Amino acid sequence: MTSLEKPEIGTTTVRYRMPSVHPEGRKFAVIAGAIALLFFWVLDWDWLGWISVGLTLWVCAFFRDPIRTTPKGEGLIVSPADGMVTMIADVPAPRELIGADGLGETDTFIRVSIFMSVFDVHINRAPIAGMIRKVAYIPGKFLNADLDKASEDNERQHILVEAQDGTRIGFTQIAGLVARRIVPWVKPGDIVTVGQRVGLIRFGSRVDVYLPQGTAPKVVLGQRMIAGETIVAKLGENVAAEGVSQ
């Protein structure tokens, strides 16, 4: 293409698609709907019936599973979760993720914490493409996931992904104050693509991403994240993003 030529731009448009309800949540929606019918038709308690209808709609919204468009590019690390960036800190990696079979012996990593409220999509996605090297579940407490100590005290699950070039990215699903179950959809040895669904956390929680040394976050505190779409960082780029709340 010469300097006078213009790149071709496609004319295809994209229409909005109503998110489906993930199978993991359909049973909860059916239960809530059945309770609503019970209140309306059997007990004749309309006010409780309408409350149950609202609960049914909320359950469907909570377990919504929207289609995401994942950006392509060398070295991109995308967000594994919807939510807000509430912490960016230089911290040691969890002991379950250190060592030769983990993230290595590096002293500290930049941890980007994404808080998911009960209104966010709770399906988590792979931040990079590669092989699942480790899935480590640790039982624990159910403190507010927005607290820093939740990364060490709460029920959590660590997942380690290794790219074809040997780069390893670890991320942690953390149960929160309301969350009571972390549901994995992958196991060691599985091959995942970037942005692929890997699990969910029910009812409010947090996901931590550990960036390798020499890689700075391209997101800022307070930024809204979209799982499988928002670029958290680019491997080897050590210039952190800056932003302003407004």
Cα separation values, 117 from 126, 138, 204, 216, Å: 20, 22, 5, 25
β-strand partners of 211: 110
CB 34 within 8 A of CB 55: no
3-state secondary structure of 171: strand
Catalytic site residue from 79, 113, 151, 205: 205
Exposure pattern of 214-246 as b/e (b: 16+ CB <10 Å)?
Answer: ebebbbeeebebbbbebbbbbbeeeeeeeeeee
Show the tokens assigned to 202: 């029910």
205 is catalytic: yes
Catalytic residue positions, numbered: 205
